[in-house]
């Protein structure tokens, strides 16, 4: 790693001020950023740790909404969201491994928007609201392609609000070495329709599969998906799986998610 200054503010306001300095970079749990720094793929002058900000931690469920602080670890979500939003808690309990889950945070995952990360699928399928240090962003506007989001420089994900669905499930086909999703599908059924979000598959990052949403909104069963498929064009193809293989998995996993919901 290149050398950097380390600061650890205790309020969002102080963190935003620190991030206003030149070449400052926010640090969540560091489970992606620290490996990136070790590879010398980033060279911040200052790392602004968000782990000391109490107001960004915790899980709160009220009135059909689960609100998760941006600094909440996957391990905490797995435990504390289990009764209010079981599919989300189950997703959190399968990210990485236990030690990674004890450091990695939901805000860090969403700010990074790795094309194979799990949380973007949950946020997009749930129509979540990304609450930042300066505004609120609908999930549909937030994800803008691989490693790209609507966040401005120095903007922090302080919380994520999930409307709790009637039924939901996330199924991921795990890349066994990294435990990222080779493909992951999150299906969420709400009173006004079904949302289906796919991670790991597309070169554009997480996306909604609108054909499947229409079919499932009319008939919430795996049978409703018969004959539907996503085009292989635009899928990620690499040594772990071809474009065609990933496109095929999208269909298979969506059916499994509906069956599990």
Partner 1 sequence: MTKISMKVNGKEVSGEVEGRTLLVSFLRDTLGMTGTHVGCDTSQCGACVVHVDGAAVKSCTMLAMEAEGAEVATIEGQANADGTLSVVQQAFQDHHGLQCGFCTPGMVMSATALLKDNPKPSEAEIRHYLEGNICRCTGYHNIVKAILAASGQLEGAIAAE
Chain positions contacting partner 1, by CB under 8 A: 1-6, 8, 27, 30-31, 34-35, 37-38, 47, 49, 51, 75, 96-100, 102-103, 177, 179
Q: How far, in Å, CA of 114 to CA of 180, rounded?
A: 9
Q: Closest CB to partner 1 among 48 and 257?
A: 48
Query: Please, what is the Cα angle at 23 between 22 and 27, to 5 degrees?
Result: 120
Q: In angstroms, what is the minimal distance from the CB of 68 to partner 1?
A: 18
Q: In angstroms, what is the minimal distance from the CB of 92 to partner 1?
A: 14
Q: How far, in Å, CA of 101 to CA of 54, rounded?
A: 18
Q: Closest CB to partner 1 among 40 and 153?
A: 40
Q: Closest CB to partner 1 among 103 and 256?
A: 103
Sheet holding 207-208, edge to edge: 167-174, 181-190, 193-199, 207-208
Q: What are phi and psi of 56, to 5 degrees?
A: -100, 15
C-alpha of 101 from chain center: 13
Q: In angstroms, what is the minimal distance from the CB of 20 to partner 1?
A: 18
Q: What is the DSSP letter of 201?
A: S
Q: In angstroms, what is the minimal distance from the CB of 21 to partner 1?
A: 14
Q: Closest CB to partner 1 among 31 and 126?
A: 31
Q: In angstroms, what is the minimal distance from the CB of 93 to partner 1?
A: 9
Q: In angstroms, what is the minimal distance from the CB of 116 to partner 1?
A: 15
Q: In angstroms, what is the minimal distance from the CB of 207 to partner 1?
A: 28
Q: What is the DSSP letter of 104?
A: -
Q: Do β-strands 5-7 and 46-49 pair in parallel, antiparallel, or remain unpaired?
A: parallel
Q: Closest CB to partner 1 among 38 and 135?
A: 38
Residue 87: helix, strand or coil by DSSP? helix
Q: Closest CB to partner 1 among 30 and 165?
A: 30
Task: Give burial (CB, 10 Å; 0-12/13-18/19+) of 223.
Answer: exposed
Give whole-number Cα distances, 125 to 144, 166, 243, in Å.
Answer: 15, 13, 22
Rg, the chain, Cα only: 18
- Residues shown for the chain: 261
């Amino acid at each position: 790693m290149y050398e950097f200054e380390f600061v650890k503010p205790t309020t969002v306001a102080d963190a935003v001020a620190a991030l206003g300095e030149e070449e400052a970079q926010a640090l969540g749990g560091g489970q992606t950023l620290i490996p990136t720094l070790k590879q010398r793929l980033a060279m911040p002058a200052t790392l602004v740790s968000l782990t000391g900000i109490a107001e960004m931690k915790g899980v709160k469920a009220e009135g059909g909404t689960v609100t998760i602080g941006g600094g909440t670890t996957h391990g905490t979500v797995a435990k504390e969201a289990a009764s209010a939003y079981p599919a989300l808690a189950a997703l959190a309990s399968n990210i990485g491994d236990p030690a990674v889950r004890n450091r990695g945070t939901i805000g860090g995952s969403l700010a990074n928007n790795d094309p194979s990360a799990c949380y973007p699928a949950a946020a997009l399928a749930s129509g979540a609201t990304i609450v930042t240090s300066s505004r609120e962003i609908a999930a549909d506007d937030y994800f803008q392609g691989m490693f790209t989001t609507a966040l401005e420089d120095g903007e922090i994900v302080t919380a994520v609000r999930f409307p709790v669905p009637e039924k939901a499930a996330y199924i991921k086909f795990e890349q066994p070495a990294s435990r990222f999703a080779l493909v992951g599908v999150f299906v969420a059924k709400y009173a006004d329709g079904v949302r289906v979000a796919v991670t790991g598959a597309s070169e554009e990052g997480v996306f909604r599969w609108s054909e499947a949403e229409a079919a499932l909104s009319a008939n919430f069963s795996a049978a409703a998906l018969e004959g539907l498929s996503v085009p292989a064009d635009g899928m990620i193809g690499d040594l772990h799986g071809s474009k065609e293989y990933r496109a095929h998995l999208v269909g298979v996993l969506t059916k499994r998610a509906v069956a599990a919901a």
